[in-house]
Amino acid sequence: MKYNRQLLELMCGIFGCIADDAAAMVLEGLRKLEYRGYDSAGLAAIFSPGDSSPIETEKTTGYVSELVSKVNGRFDGAKISIGHTRWATHGGVTDQNAHPHSSNDGNITIVHNGIIENSAELSNRLNNLGYSLSSETDTEVIVHLLDHEIKTQPDGLLILDAFCTVISKLRGSWALAAIVSGHEGILVSRSGAPLVIGRGEAGISVSSDVLPFYGACSEVAYMNDGDNFLLTTNGIVAQDDVEKPTFEALEGVYDEEDPGIFPHMMLKEIHDQPTSLSNVLSGRISADGVNAELSGFDLSPAEIRKLERINLVACGTAYYASEIISSYIRKFTCIRSEAFIASEFPAKSVCSQNTLTIGVSQSGETKDTLDALFEAKKYGSNVSSLCNVIGSTMSRMTGNGAYLHAGPEFAVASTKVFSNMVAAGLLFALTISDIPNLEKKKLVQDLRKLPNIISSQLIDADEAIEQAANLILENGPPIFIGRGGLSSYIAKEGALKMMEISYIPCISLPGGELKHGPIALITQGSPVVALVPSDSKLNLMETSIRECKSRGAKIILITDSEGPISELADILIQTTQTHPDLSPFTHIIPIQLLAYQVGVEKGVNVDRPRNLAKSVTVV
Ligand code: AGP
């Protein structure tokens, strides 16, 4: 797939289908796409394809489940339906701004992912034509333009021609689906936001990604930027000179979002880590247990060793994982390596033909990261990815790299994928390293034991986590501190995790930085979460902790040390000892559990915290 920087402002989830019970399929599809946004949801349906009465729609703020309740079976038996789950960009989270958007006579309705950059200009044009807009969205202009085009186009032209004329007037990015009363079919267009067509015995469908197709479709066709089609029960209709997409068999299975014995997906995913870590390591360690063998990169380890530098680009949790990965690369090779927040990537200064830029991402759809990779490519860098979602835009764009094999991650707060990013990054660093075999062997041996270690930690931790959560809830925002690269990055991830699922503002910093300002925040009882693995920075961390304690802080100490440092703890969370380079894996577990516990006790929907989306596809 060709990657176009201008055309990657994806948003939200859309699903459409022509089938015997199309609306039910749309509601089910939206449920599976909800990770893409959950501010509001809506659907539209045509019951009898020849009928030219206004199209029925329903929409609501909130989750797809709220839409299902509002619909209350009213759309059963509809033959054509489209639906949408939204992450607001233009206009607030209101019923009015929720999709679908309809023409004033209700005969056309449309769902859209992306951003129409010239919506203000188009809106003025529509006002001059006598149209009034009822929402604050950039999307609504499209439906009125289509209405105008259909009503004014010369005789003999098809509805697809009117649709294509409208599309030619848009600037920005979109995945669009539209239905028109009196017409059979769904009009679809892709430009910068993903759309996949699926077909099977039940009918033909269109979706933002393949997830909803598992079990419902046997074949899929990925639309390309610039494609505009009419989907009908008899197949795909394209304009004369346009190639139709090619279908391929749909491989794989859909893993249901089912927390099983756990109350939330997030807790389940934290507990998935022994398995997901085994999966990322599997087949990537040599039979003699000495070397890491992470394959999938276009460049060989020998070629990579000759590079001037390796850049990592990522956002949020993936960025903190990338900082740890960069530390590993610097430690195990002589190559310069640096992690960059993707939206701040200074491509011009750090990219050339003699560099490699790796995108690190769970979803593989994060626009900031895709943009950074695009920039890297523009300045001559080789590009690769470490991605969790197979077939994602990032993995297809880079065409090489390694998958994280964490399995689907549904909770918005990333947990198991963070660990797998760090593990895959460590495997990468070891694969390209030329440190002595003995040193490598020791680390690789301990790496193989990690799934068991994590498993035992997950059994033991509960009581201390609960006490720590109560301390934070009673005494206010915690400060996370660590020292020496690995731990200070875990501290950053800890603060992010806590903020996103408990809404408590947190800061994190290397322990040594406290005295340069932030220590002013500490008062009697302030919680400080101190990450202290038994490494060369242990003594320095002790100093930082004493500085906090003497100003009244309460210390939540996360450590694998059984030495005197534990006496500084107000609450001690003991982790299992392992190789110091593997401390991120053992120390992130209590951090994730702590954030979870605080979130749950505050009554936050930890799997779907406010204002967030699993896949952040806008700049
Ligand atoms: C993680 O808990 C966050 N929800 C967020 O920071 C996320 O890691 C970031 O948006 C990057 O997403 P990606 O890994 O899908 O690229």
Q: Whose CA is nearest to atom 8 of ligand 1?
A: 317
State whether the beta carbon of 312 lies less than 6 angstroms from ligand 1: no
Confidence of residue 460 (pLDDT cuts 50, 70, 90): low
Confidence of residue 417 (pLDDT cuts 50, 70, 90): very high
Q: How many whole angstroms from 580 Cα to the centroid of ligand 1?
A: 26
Whole-number pLDDT of residue 536: 82
Between CA 82 and CA 17 the distance in angstroms is 6
Q: Whose CA is nearest to atom 9 of ligand 1?
A: 316
Whole-number pLDDT of residue 611: 81
Q: How many whole angstroms from 414 Cα to the centroid of ligand 1?
A: 7
Of all atoms in ligand 1, which is nearest to the CA of residue 615? Answer: 15
Task: Choose which residue among 38, 397, 414 to substitute to test ligand 1 binding: the one with the highest number of ligand atoms within 8 A of its C-beta.
Answer: 414
State whether the beta carbon of 385 lies less than 6 angstroms from ligand 1: no
Between CA 273 and CA 334 the distance in angstroms is 31
Q: Give me Rg for the CA atoms of the chain.
A: 26
State whether the beta carbon of 494 lies less than 6 angstroms from ligand 1: no
User: In which residue are the tokens 């190789």 written?
Assistant: 579
State whether the beta carbon of 322 lies less than 6 angstroms from ligand 1: no
Confidence of residue 9 (pLDDT cuts 50, 70, 90): very low
The three-state secondary structure class of 531 is: strand
Between CA 150 and CA 508 the distance in angstroms is 57
Contact 342, 365 (CB under 8 A): no
Report the pLDDT averaged over residues 329-338.
97
Between CA 403 and CA 475 the distance in angstroms is 41
Report the pLDDT averaged over residues 222-249.
91
Burial class (CB in 10 A: 0-12, 13-18, 19+), 259: middle
Confidence of residue 612 (pLDDT cuts 50, 70, 90): confident
Q: How many whole angstroms from 249 Cα to the centroid of ligand 1?
A: 30
Q: Whose CA is nearest to atom 11 of ligand 1?
A: 315
Contact 188, 159 (CB under 8 A): no
Residue 401 Cα distances to 326, 414, 433, angstroms: 16, 21, 17
Joined together, the tokens standing for residue 448 give 């193989």
Whole-number pLDDT of residue 258: 78
State whether the beta carbon of 362 lies less than 6 angstroms from ligand 1: yes
Active site residues: 12, 614
Between CA 413 and CA 421 the distance in angstroms is 14
Confidence of residue 5 (pLDDT cuts 50, 70, 90): very low
Confidence of residue 302 (pLDDT cuts 50, 70, 90): very high
Of all atoms in ligand 1, which is nearest to the CA of residue 394? Answer: 16
Q: Which of 60-69, 84-93, 161-170, 427-436 has the lowest mean pLDDT?
A: 84-93
**Residues 141, 142, 143: CA angle, nearest 5 degrees:** 95
Confidence of residue 499 (pLDDT cuts 50, 70, 90): very high
Which residues does 340 contact at the CB level (< 8 Å), separation at least 6?
311, 312, 313, 314, 319, 322, 346, 350, 372
Which residues does 69 contact at the CB level (< 8 Å), separation at least 6?
none
State whether the beta carbon of 413 lies less than 6 angstroms from ligand 1: yes
Whole-number pLDDT of residue 11: 56
Q: How many whole angstroms from 322 Cα to the centroid of ligand 1?
A: 12
**pLDDT of 254 over the 70 cut:** no
Q: Is the dihedral of CA 270, 273, 274, 276 positive or negative?
A: positive
The structure's pTM equals 0.76
Q: Please, what is the average pLDDT of the chain?
A: 92
Task: Choose which residue among 8, 317, 611 to substitute to test ligand 1 binding: the one with the highest number of ligand atoms within 8 A of its C-beta.
Answer: 317
Q: Which amino acid is at 154?
A: P
Question: Could you give the angle at which helices 437-460 and 583-601 cross, rounded to 10 degrees?
Answer: 20
Q: How many whole angstroms from 56 Cα to the centroid of ligand 1?
A: 36
Joined together, the tokens standing for residue 573 give 């969370």
What is the tens place of the pLDDT at every residue in 92-117? 788 888 999 999 999 999 999 888 99
Whole-number pLDDT of residue 95: 85
State whether the beta carbon of 317 lies less than 6 angstroms from ligand 1: yes
**Residues 202, 207, 212: CA angle, nearest 5 degrees:** 60
CA 184 to chain CA mean position, Å: 35
Of all atoms in ligand 1, which is nearest to the CA of residue 369? Answer: 16
**Backbone torsion region of residue 69, taken as left when φ is above 0, otherwise alpha when ψ lies between -120 and 50, otherwise beta:** alpha
Peptide bond into 49 cis (omega under 30): no
Whole-number pLDDT of residue 2: 36
User: In which residue are the tokens 């969370």 written?
Assistant: 573
State whether the beta carbon of 316 lies less than 6 angstroms from ligand 1: yes
Q: Which amino acid is at 475?
A: N
Whole-number pLDDT of residue 617: 60
Contact 164, 228 (CB under 8 A): yes
**pLDDT of 56 over the 60 cut:** yes
Q: How many whole angstroms from 615 Cα to the centroid of ligand 1?
A: 7
Whole-number pLDDT of residue 138: 87
Q: How many whole angstroms from 404 Cα to the centroid of ligand 1?
A: 14
Question: Could you give the angle at which helices 416-432 and 437-460 cross, rounded to 10 degrees?
Answer: 170
**Percentage of the chain modeled with pLDDT above 90:** 74
Domains defined along the chain, listed by start? 5-249 (3.60.20.10), 257-459 (3.40.50.10490), 460-619 (3.40.50.10490)
Report the pLDDT averaged over residues 262-267.
94
State whether the beta carbon of 414 lies less than 6 angstroms from ligand 1: yes
How crowded is residue 230: how many other Cβ atoms within 10 Å of its Cβ?
22
**pLDDT of 3 over the 50 cut:** no
- Helical (H) or strand (E) element with 60: strand 56-61
- Helical (H) or strand (E) element with 248: strand 248-249
State whether the beta carbon of 333 lies less than 6 angstroms from ligand 1: no
Q: Which amino acid is at 282?
A: S
Contact 395, 405 (CB under 8 A): no
